[in-house]
A and B are shown apart, each in its own frame.
Chain A
Amino acid sequence: MLHHLTTPLTEDKVRQLKVGDEVLLSGRLILSRDVGHKYMKEEKPEWLKPLLKDMVIYHCGPVVHQKSDGSWTFIAAGPTTSIREEPYQADIIEHYQVRAVIGKGGMGNQTSRGLQATGAVYLHATGGAGTLLAECVERVVEVHKLKEFGSPEAFWVIEVKDFPVVVTMDSHGASLHEQVAQSSAKIAEQLMKS
């Protein structure tokens, strides 16, 4: 099923999403990865609350270009591997009432429980499709912690139009990653015997 959604998202809308659904997402996204997640979990900064409530975190360290007038353009902006944020994600989702996380590769049980408790989903974007996904970025709104964290780790706030993602972990405990891992494990077992 294909959904067109615009951020901020409501819990009700998010709870309707099921694993396998395709989503074209528009509106604001907040980029964060390793340094940002450690910072959010350990320091729980207040200033991020209004930015993150009912919003979407995107695991991405973009390639950016600053024009002579000081404004920014995204050149390449695909997802980074999400599992590195597993120790932090559930707490962050709960604390900031985040409604969705975009990344690649899927996440583990702890995050899955967090998605169920808060009413949030994990959305999967095509890894490596940096240029293609940057085409969906309409505007760079602002950036936080750029000097301190460096450009791949900074909190970029962007506006996207029809950003293509797939629901691979929903708010009801289902995970496409878990399903594929289990089915492939059975085949691997047979292959190892032959």
Chain B
Amino acid sequence: MSDCILPHLTPQQVVEDKSLLPKDWALQFKDSSLAGFHLAVLELIRRTSSRLPQDVIDALVRGRDAETHNSRAFNTLNDMVKNILLADGHVTPLCQDTGTIIFYVKHPTGLSQITMKKHIRQAVVEGTERVWLRPNCVESLSGKNTGNNLDPFADGHPVIHFEEWDRPEIEVGLMLKGGGCENVGAQYRLPDVHLGAGRDISGVRKCIIDAVMKAQGQGCSPGILGVAIGGDRITGYEHSKAILMRTLGTPHHNSELAQIETNLTHDLNTLGIGPMGYGGKTTVLGLFIDELYRHPASFFVSISYMCWSSRRRIMTLDAMGHPHFN
């Protein structure tokens, strides 16, 4: 059905030329209003919504090329690559579900989180008006859509995680996480009698296999898994999602966990679920795992599933306020 598409994105210079930020723009850290910060965040939204990270594209292409030529799995992965190139070229959302909008902000001492939050919320409203984001914030019981991606109480959406650090630059990470993949996330409490899973790495492995089995194609496979062992119910889930910001192919700093990541990725790809659950060799693109400290009585395994359209980018405003996008 389809020709083999080569994964060439728009050259970086073209992306820079389309930037919303004036040339040589820099954030003035000393200006307490942080004027212009919202525009930098809007530029981050533009790039995240329309341009997939290169490591994800490379993994999809490797998956495609490992499938039998012209099989349904091959053609589906090829369509995904086609979609990536179209969205990048048109600067339109890769997927109509532009997800829950999740920011990870790390900032030096002395900057106001209240001010940064105002800018981020303004950027989200403008990003929605420019159709890089779909209005994805609804009142839970009535289902009423706020229309601009903001919850009126400023505590639910967009999600903003702030962290003060001892470095001079601001780092803003953005993840757009679709509802389909969020719905197939899972949390286990070990021991799990039904799975026969004990409080050890073998038990953790069983939980991960079970979660991928239950997800089948519904999280838009091939997915990327974030797994947190331990923590409490909140920190476990939170961490399992935060590590989805990692780059595929970069090994874990702990060599034991690095080995587990590689082995599990291999094993999960023998399940035969394949892209979109059509069957095939590519069920996951990768797996990130971390170990947290826990209460002696609790042993949680928290799993976040990210769809193949893993939209994540990081913007750094260096010590001089100059923006850099990864």
Residues of A within 8 A of B (CB): 2, 20, 22, 34-35, 60-65, 75-78, 80-81, 83, 104-106, 124, 126-132, 134-135, 149-153, 164, 166, 168, 176-177, 179-181, 183-185, 187-188, 191-192
B16 within 8 A of A: no
CB of B138 within 8 A of CB of A150, answer yes
Q: How far is the CA of A115 from the CA of B96 in the complex (A)?
A: 27
Known: A22-B1, A81-B180, A184-B216. A63 touches B271 (CB 8 A): no
Query: Which of B133-153 touch A at CB < 8 Å?
Result: 134-136, 138, 143-145, 147
Known: A180-B277, A180-B279. A78 touches B271 (CB 8 A): no
Nearest Cβ on chain A to B228's Cβ, whole angstroms? 21
CB of B216 within 8 A of CB of A105, answer yes
Residues from chain B with Cβ under 8 Å of A65 in the complex: 131
Residues from chain B with Cβ under 8 Å of A105 in the complex: 180, 216-218, 276-277
Nearest Cβ on chain A to B166's Cβ, whole angstroms? 39
Residues from chain A with Cβ under 8 Å of B135 in the complex: 150-152
Known: A63-B131, A81-B180, A124-B276. A150 touches B144 (CB 8 A): yes
B103 within 8 A of A: no
Q: How far is the CA of A192 from the CA of B203 in the complex (A)?
A: 9
Nearest Cβ on chain B to A107's Cβ, whole angstroms? 10
B278 within 8 A of A: yes
CB of B1 within 8 A of CB of A164, answer yes
Nearest Cβ on chain A to B28's Cβ, whole angstroms? 34
Q: How far is the CA of A172 from the CA of B131 in the complex (A)?
A: 41
Q: Which residue from B80, B144, B147, B279 sits with its C-beta under 8 Å from A128?
A: B80
Q: How far is the CA of A76 from the CA of B96 in the complex (A)?
A: 5
Query: Which of B164-219 touch A at CB < 8 Å?
Result: 178-180, 183, 195-196, 205-206, 209-210, 213, 216-218
CB of B92 within 8 A of CB of A75, answer yes
Residues from chain A with Cβ under 8 Å of B105 in the complex: none
Known: A75-B92, A83-B218. A130 touches B87 (CB 8 A): yes
CB of B131 within 8 A of CB of A177, answer no
Interface SS of chain B: loop
Q: Which residue from B96, B145, B205, B209 sits with its C-beta under 8 Å from A130?
A: B96
CB of A152 within 8 A of CB of B79, answer no
Query: Which of B260-278 touch A at CB < 8 Å?
Result: 267, 270-274, 276-278
- Per-residue contact bits, chain B 90-105, to A (CB 8 Å; 1 contact, 0 not): 1011111110000000
Q: How far is the CA of A115 from the CA of B229 in the complex (A)?
A: 42
Known: A150-B145, A151-B134, A192-B206. A128 touches B307 (CB 8 A): yes
Nearest Cβ on chain B to A87's Cβ, whole angstroms? 15
Q: Which residue from B82, B183, B206 sits with its C-beta under 8 Å from A81?
A: B183
Q: How far is the CA of A20 from the CA of B279 in the complex (A)?
A: 11
Q: Which residue from B86, B195, B209, B217 sits with its C-beta under 8 Å from A104?
A: B217
CB of B143 within 8 A of CB of A181, answer no
B252 within 8 A of A: no
B19 within 8 A of A: no
Nearest Cβ on chain A to B178's Cβ, whole angstroms? 8
CB of B83 within 8 A of CB of A132, answer yes
Q: Which 6 A-B pairs have the closest CB atoms?
A: A150-B145, A105-B218, A76-B96, A132-B83, A127-B220, A129-B83
Q: How far is the CA of A192 from the CA of B178 in the complex (A)?
A: 29
Residues from chain A with Cβ under 8 Å of B273 in the complex: 180, 184
Q: How far is the CA of A81 from the CA of B82 in the complex (A)?
A: 21
CB of A127 within 8 A of CB of B87, answer no
B299 within 8 A of A: no
CB of B218 within 8 A of CB of A132, answer no
CB of A64 within 8 A of CB of B217, answer no
B76 within 8 A of A: yes
Q: How far is the CA of A4 from the CA of B235 in the complex (A)?
A: 51
CB of A180 within 8 A of CB of B138, answer no
